[in-house]
Chains A and B, each alone.
Chain A
Amino acid sequence: MSDKRNIIIGVIIFILLMTIPIWLNLATGTSTERPELEKPKGDACVMDKEYMTSYHMDLLNEWREEVVRNGEREHIAPDGKKYDRSLTNTCLDCHPSKEKFCDQCHNYLGVKPYCWSCHIVPEEFK
């Protein structure tokens, strides 16, 4: 009595599963390019760029909290400019195309922010 055959099948399945990123990437092809972003309006974001790239969701969370809970609608950028804390009116004003800006990164990583079920994307209404 021996289960050698089953065990070997199991080991093969294990090896295939563990190397699956290699095969799937081979099938779709990979590129090590950064996703391309539409050039924003204006010359600086509401915070410096490094912060925005990685921490924009924290900023949005803070904005949401401040506006909805505390009624504080004013954001002062590092360069002293004042902005209205608004997802649609401010962010999407300088980054008018959600599809060509936000979604470029988000699709790259399969991130699907749930904000847009309530907040309007102006370009979709044109």
Chain B
Amino acid sequence: MKLFISLILVLILIGIPLIGSNVSGLVYLFGVIIPYIAILTFVIGMSVRVLKWAKIPVPFKITTTCGQQKSLPWINNNNLESPHNTAGVFWRMALEVLFFRSLFRNTRTGLKEGPKIVYGPDKILWAASLAFHWSFLVIFIRHFKIFLQEVPQFIPLLESLDGFMQIGLPILFMTDAALLLGLTVLFLRRIVDPKLRYISLVADYFPLLLIIGIALTGVWMRYFGKVDIISVKQFTLGLFSFQPIIPDGISAIFFAHLFLVSALLIYFPLSKLVHFGGIFLSPTRNMSNNNREVRHINPWNPKVKLHTYEEWEDEFRDVMKAADMPLEKE
């Protein structure tokens, strides 16, 4: 049910611009107004969400780590798992953000005869996520050939690496295939496994299907029902220099692609996709474990009135002396 709601939502999102962009006058809406709104929503929305998180106080160091912390000199510490300085945190974060190290440790629960519960490694989720995210990044970077008047030198280089296999013309980009493969695995995972299907929501299916829609319309435009990319680039350059024009001869499928991307951009700051910014703020990953080196005091702890032992002894010195009790100071 939730799956079908998501599917229908995405199909509607593809349908609207396919029909709408043929209606004269509406092209401007799909080509200019909605993309501008989407980009603004994305950039401002993400910034606001992250800045909101920044306001939340962090009273204590959270040090759930799986490595030996730095303590006595003769105890080997693991500075990657339990870093005590910024350099260590940097590397732990880099591995997390670039290679999803926490996800790599993901396990799955299975039921064996007995019945017995077993836990095993589950690298498929990690591999599919990695393939998907990296491909998405490379594809996004490749798009800068359409966004920028002067194509930077590294983009042809990136494309030649991406098309290293030189399959067909236009050359098949391996990231296009990897993206679709990764997305398919991530999607099937939710349908095939009953446990996962049970906990999956519209908010889980919808972004996956939306990105699959974006990928398919993009792949369609590059390999099958081609659009005139020269006109598309004229259009995007107009968009990014705030002199929007809509050249003739851009087919509706391009507006479908653009509309889905706009939908994704708007959906981004409103949904679980904010993990894009959130991963940088994972408390158990970005805090150094230096509790033994630095004393951390919760800034809003109430001021406790202290009564130290010395003061206490001063107060009771006479009584203690009379009772023959040992004293620090005579």
- Segment at the B interface, from A17-25, A78-86, A89-97, A118-126: A17-25
Name which residue of chain B comes closest to A107, CB basis: B151
| Cβ–Cβ < 8 Å partners of B147 in chain A | 21, 25
Determine the distance from Cα of A31 to Cα of B59 in the docked complex, in whole angstroms: 53
Contact of B149 among A10, A30, A60, A111 (CB under 8 A): A30
What 0/1 readout, one digit per residue, does chain B (222-234) give for beta carbons within 8 Å of chain A?
A: 0000111111011
| Cβ–Cβ < 8 Å partners of A11 in chain B | 47, 50-51
> CB distance A28 to B149 under 8 Å?
yes
The smallest beta-carbon distance between A19 and chain B, in angstroms, is 7
| Cβ–Cβ < 8 Å partners of A110 in chain B | 145, 151, 155-156, 159
> CB distance A105 to B230 under 8 Å?
yes
Determine the distance from Cα of A21 to Cα of B242 in the docked complex, in whole angstroms: 12
The smallest beta-carbon distance between B278 and chain A, in angstroms, is 11
Determine the distance from Cα of A31 to Cα of B160 in the docked complex, in whole angstroms: 27
Is B42 interfacial (CB 8 A cutoff)?
yes
Is B317 interfacial (CB 8 A cutoff)?
no
DSSP class of B's interface residues: helix, strand, loop or mixed? helix
- Segment at the B interface, from A1-9, A40-48, A66-74: A1-9
| Cβ–Cβ < 8 Å partners of B159 in chain A | 110-112
DSSP class of A's interface residues: helix, strand, loop or mixed? helix
Determine the distance from Cα of A77 to Cα of B307 in the docked complex, in whole angstroms: 100
Q: Of residues B145, B228, B230, B296, which shows the largest number of chain A Cβ atoms within 10 Å of its Cβ?
A: B230
Determine the distance from Cα of A61 to Cα of B166 in the docked complex, in whole angstroms: 12
Interface band, chain A: 35 or more
| Cβ–Cβ < 8 Å partners of A19 in chain B | 43
Contact of A34 among B155, B234, B240, B281 (CB under 8 A): B234
> CB distance A109 to B50 under 8 Å?
no
Determine the distance from Cα of A114 to Cα of B42 in the docked complex, in whole angstroms: 38
Is B144 interfacial (CB 8 A cutoff)?
yes
> CB distance B149 to A1 under 8 Å?
no
> CB distance A32 to B169 under 8 Å?
no
Contact of B228 among A33, A54, A114 (CB under 8 A): A54
> CB distance A112 to B156 under 8 Å?
yes
| Cβ–Cβ < 8 Å partners of B234 in chain A | 32-34
Is A57 interfacial (CB 8 A cutoff)?
yes
| Cβ–Cβ < 8 Å partners of A31 in chain B | 149, 237
The smallest beta-carbon distance between B37 and chain A, in angstroms, is 15
> CB distance A25 to B146 under 8 Å?
no
Determine the distance from Cα of A111 to Cα of B148 in the docked complex, in whole angstroms: 14
| Cβ–Cβ < 8 Å partners of B149 in chain A | 25, 28-31
Known: A10-B280, A34-B234. A60 touches B240 (CB 8 A): no
Determine the distance from Cα of A52 to Cα of B245 in the docked complex, in whole angstroms: 24
Contact of A7 among B53, B61, B160 (CB under 8 A): B53
Determine the distance from Cα of A97 to Cα of B144 in the docked complex, in whole angstroms: 27
Determine the distance from Cα of A11 to Cα of B47 in the docked complex, in whole angstroms: 6
Contact of A53 among B47, B61, B144, B228 (CB under 8 A): B228
Name which residue of chain A comes closest to B241, CB basis: A30
| Cβ–Cβ < 8 Å partners of B51 in chain A | 7-8, 11
> CB distance B227 to A54 under 8 Å?
yes
> CB distance A60 to B241 under 8 Å?
no
> CB distance A21 to B50 under 8 Å?
no
> CB distance B50 to A7 under 8 Å?
yes
What 0/1 readout, one digit per residue, does chain B (210-251) give for beta carbons within 8 Å of chain A?
A: 000000000000000011111101100110110101010000
| Cβ–Cβ < 8 Å partners of B280 in chain A | 10
The smallest beta-carbon distance between B307 and chain A, in angstroms, is 27
Is B150 interfacial (CB 8 A cutoff)?
yes
Known: A3-B58, A35-B230. A109 touches B146 (CB 8 A): yes
The smallest beta-carbon distance between B70 and chain A, in angstroms, is 18
Determine the distance from Cα of A112 to Cα of B163 in the docked complex, in whole angstroms: 11
The smallest beta-carbon distance between A66 and chain B, in angstroms, is 13
Is B67 interfacial (CB 8 A cutoff)?
no
Instruction: Kindly list the 3 A-B residue pairs having the minimum CB-CB distance in the complex, ordered from nearest.
Output: A110-B151, A61-B169, A54-B226
- Chosen A-B contacts, 18 in total, with CB atoms closer than 8 Å, are A1-B296, A4-B55, A18-B43, A21-B144, A21-B148, A25-B240, A30-B237, A32-B241, A35-B230, A54-B229, A58-B169, A60-B169, A108-B151, A109-B230, A110-B156, A111-B156, A112-B160, A114-B160
